[in-house]
């Protein structure tokens, strides 16, 4: 659900009693303004969607955005859940030992 779970969605789901999981290696941590990265997607011809998605996900993860996104969810009083790929855990959370 990487394309769906942003800070606002996670907060809303928590307030409604649900739990949204923020993917720490998705677009939310690659772009300061995720909407700008995916604004072209609905208007992209089918044969060009794969190339556009590859371009969107080729941007590097901005480590500062990981903390910013999590803090924003918690600041709203919402339950925060996040995931990452197992082989990236120590890179994302180097002091979690």
Residue 71 pLDDT > 90:
yes
Which pLDDT score is estimated for 76? Answer: 97
Which pLDDT score is estimated for 60? Answer: 92
Give whole-number Cα distances, 45 to 9, 39, 42, 49, 52, in Å: 27, 13, 8, 6, 10
Is 6 exposed, middle or buried, given 0-12, 13-18 or 19+ CB atoms closer than 10 A? buried
What pTM, to 2 d.p., does this model score?
Answer: 0.79
- 23-45 tens-digit pLDDT: 988 889 998 887 666 667 788 89
Residue 66 pLDDT > 70:
yes
45-48 contact pairs (CB < 8 A, 24+): none
- Average the pLDDT over 11-20 and give the result: 96
Q: Which of 6, 22, 18 is nearest to 92 (CA)?
A: 22
| Torsion sign, CA atoms 36, 42, 43, 49 | positive
């Amino acid at each position: 659900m990487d394309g769906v779970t942003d800070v606002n969605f996670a907060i809303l789901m928590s307030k409604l009693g649900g739990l949204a999981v923020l993917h720490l290696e998705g677009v939310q941590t690659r772009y300061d303004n995720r909407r700008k990265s995916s604004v072209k997607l609905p208007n992209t011809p089918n044969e060009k969607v794969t190339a556009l998605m590859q371009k969107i996900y080729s941007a590097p993860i901005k480590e500062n955005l990981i903390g910013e996104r999590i803090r924003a969810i918690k600041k709203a009083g919402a339950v925060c859940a996040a995931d990452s790929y197992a082989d990236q855990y120590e890179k994302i959370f180097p002091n979690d030992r």
